[in-house]
A and B are shown apart, each in its own frame.
Chain A
């Protein structure tokens, strides 16, 4: 496997695309074929299933370069699975098909997300060299003033960005609702979402650019400021204003997201309710607060939680724009910095703190989903 990948890697990048995608699609087609063929009744198909149950785990472990007894164990497990499938209540081949559908995804998730998550938690209790030190890393996090600033900043990001993005997105959606050129307006505000955070950071870095008094200004913000006769300001050096200026970048990007979802939601409010309110003599603002907002509440919650999660994870903006500037750090960025300094223990501790901050939002979202699945 490693050799195959090395060979592919030696080709020019653009040539790698069709080969890799082609190989992958071949594997996918084989899986789908097996799923389609397997549940059929009959001796021939039972044999096919048996062979597949033994061969596939064996081949996978062979490709991974395992030791012989691991391959043997995999084959035995495959045999066990075949028996389970043979005797399953939902008919032979059902479990087989089910595993075929789910296995690639679940395996990747376990290897790539579940196992690393657990391992990070363990790492957070270890020193950078791998010795078990209990909660020392956490003590370090909460006792250093620099770290406390980072945590405080992260929390402010999570509170400010979703609130502003949602409010602006909602206002904008209402303003352009049913206007001429609505689509055009939507595109303009949604466009920043297509730009990478790195690109956005560069764009806004130029907006905030500073030249000392007397020289010509090249940043839009200072250009406006000097137009009104004031002195130019080195924006990104001003604590704590600079954090908020960085937040502006994320708000700039996420408002489009909020606007799209809320706009669709507003259009879904039943017209009869609005007309009834109109007949009752309410004005536009009252209608908005008492009819529209309750009706779109689920979407507002979706938008708020999604943007909150994005704010917690944001890393590119602070890294590209803020590193050189005082007191702008957030947890997501601090983690990567520590990693690059080979401080795996402390980095993992920060990761766990970040995860704990995200957890309430997860639980809330998961409960909402369970509710919708129950009503289906």
Chain B
């Protein structure tokens, strides 16, 4: 007996160690999984609560917490009907949100792609300084630009007696919002797209240069197609950002051009009247971003990582 134990001393010991290690790992990962589950549940409960509140009749909502739907399931679509087709319908603002978000996504993307390419692959004096300045602009609070932009849009610029620019005043429903969103999106857009474009292997670009391609051709035929993932990610980001924005909308999209965030914010102001429309209204406004997010979250994540430093 002793001989067989000492004959292979290493085997049982290392096997025991391996088993202990694996068990410890599995135990820690079980603890970790439980902790993760707790956090995940905590994170989802608020949204679930809102959704359930939106499908309960108003009477029930006033009387009991939304969790009681499991004891007393009464479901109704009346809140959604009121929100969409009632007198204070959110349908108009919903369409406004779409009309604002799509152009406000396309414009900065195109402009930023052009600029990103120049910063990445064209040499010019002061390139690095200007690039850092453009990045720094991203951190200027939008609030700082609001008053001057507002007066720029409505009054234009006059030097002495001469009008340099006559201002937009109320020209067009959404022009001011589009321009404002484009401007505010540019610093981050240029930064992210530049980072991605500069990672295209220089051999590809050099080869094209040797073949006699000009910057324009390189941009259009090589850089643009290769940058599609970054462009797609940023497009999603920008769309969600514009859709969810309230500040720019409060200042530049008034009255009939108000998007759904603004309509919702105004609803919350009158807590009392129309308060029952709030959950359904909020959920409708959340729906589009959630759908976009779930359908495209792969690109979302990739886009987030494209601009940040690698670990």
Interface residues of A (CB under 8 A from B): 1-3, 5-6, 8-9, 13-14, 16-17, 20-21, 24-25, 28, 31-33, 35-40, 61, 64-67, 69-70, 97-98, 100-102, 104-106, 108-109, 111-117, 119-120, 123, 168, 171-172, 174-176, 179, 185-199, 201-207, 216-220, 223, 252, 255-257, 260-261, 264-269, 284, 295-296, 298-299, 302, 309, 312-313, 315-316, 319-320, 324, 332, 335-336, 339, 344, 347-348, 351-352, 354-355, 358, 361-362, 365-366, 368-370, 372-373, 376
Q: Please state if A194 and B292 are interface contacts (CB–CB under 8 Å).
A: yes
With A20-B103, A39-B214, A295-B311: A370-B115 Cβ-Cβ less than 8 Å: no
Residues B132 and A120 in contact, CB atoms below 8 Å apart: no
Q: Which of B65, B135, B173 contacts A366 (CB 8 A)?
A: B135
Contact A332 B141 (CB under 8 A): yes
Contact A203 B132 (CB under 8 A): no
Given contact pairs A216-B64, A295-B311, A299-B311, A5 touches B168 in the complex (Cβ within 8 A): yes
Q: Is B11 an interface residue (CB 8 A)?
A: no
Binary A-proximity of B293-311 (CB < 8 A = 1, otherwise 0): 1100100010011001111
Q: If A5-B172, A17-B98, A218-B66 touch, does A316 touch B247 (CB 8 Å cutoff)?
A: yes
Nearest-neighbour CB distance to chain B for A358, whole angstroms, equals 5
- Of A216, A219, A220, A261, which one neighbours B308 at CB under 8 angstroms? A261
- Chain B contact residue count (CB 8 A cutoff): 124
CA distance A5 to B7 in the complex (A): 92
Instruction: Check: B124 CB closer than 8 A to any chain A CB.
Output: yes
Chain B residues packing against A (C-beta within 8 Å)? 28-29, 32-33, 35-36, 39-40, 43-47, 49-50, 53, 61-67, 95-96, 98-99, 102-103, 106-107, 110-112, 114-115, 117-118, 122, 124, 128, 130-132, 134-137, 139-149, 152, 156, 159, 161-166, 168-175, 178-180, 182-184, 186-187, 190, 198, 214-217, 219-220, 240, 243-247, 250-251, 261, 264-265, 268, 271, 278-279, 282-283, 285-286, 289-290, 292-294, 297, 301, 304-305, 308-311
Cβ A113 vs Cβ B103 within 8 A: no
Main DSSP-derived SS at the A contact region: helix
CB pair B293–A115 under 8 Å, yes or no, is no
Q: Chain A residues near B61 (CB, 8 Å)?
A: 218
Please name all residues of chain A whose beta carbon is closer than 8 Å to the beta carbon of B146 when the two chains form the complex. 116, 336, 339
CB distance from A74 to the nearest CB of B (A): 10
- Kindly count the residue-residue contacts between A and B in the assembled complex, taking CB atoms under 8 Å apart: 378
Contacting residues, chain A, for B283 (C-beta < 8 A) = 199
Q: Does the CB pair B114–A98 fall under 8 Å?
A: no
A363 closest partner in B (C-beta): B136
B144 contact from A100, A105, A120, A223, Cβ within 8 A: A120
Question: Do B190 and A191 touch (CB < 8 A)?
Answer: no
Interfacial chain A residues near B124, Cβ < 8 Å: 98
Q: Could you jot down 20 A-B contacts, CB within 8 Å? A: A2-B166, A14-B99, A24-B106, A24-B107, A36-B217, A65-B156, A113-B183, A116-B146, A120-B147, A188-B40, A188-B44, A196-B286, A198-B282, A205-B268, A218-B65, A223-B67, A257-B304, A260-B301, A284-B28, A365-B139
Assembled-state Cα–Cα distance A28/B247 (Å): 29
Given contacts A97-B216, A199-B264, 14 further A-B contacts (CB under 8 A): A5-B172, A70-B164, A108-B182, A108-B183, A109-B137, A115-B152, A117-B140, A175-B35, A175-B36, A199-B244, A218-B64, A252-B43, A261-B304, A355-B144
Known: A189-B39, A335-B143. A179 touches B311 (CB 8 A): no
Determine if A218 and B62 form an interchain contact, defined as CB atoms under 8 angstroms apart: yes
For the complex, give the distance between the alpha carbons of A335 and B142 in Å: 11
Closest residue on chain B to residue A316 by CB atoms: B246
Contact A299 B107 (CB under 8 A): no
* Chain B residues closer than 8 Å to A38, beta-carbon distance: 216
Contacts of A336 in B (CB 8 A): 143, 146, 247, 250-251
Contact flag A2-B95 (CB < 8 Å), given A108-B111, A185-B36, A312-B141: no
Name the distance in Å between A184's Cβ and chain B's nearest Cβ. Answer: 8
Contact of B289 among A32, A36, A194 (CB under 8 A): A194
Select which of A191, A201, A295 is within 8 A of B293 by beta carbon. Answer: A191
A203 to chain B, nearest CB (A): 5
Smallest CB-CB A-B distances: 8 pairs: A36-B216, A265-B311, A112-B183, A196-B244, A9-B172, A116-B148, A65-B166, A5-B172
B198 to chain A, nearest CB (A): 7
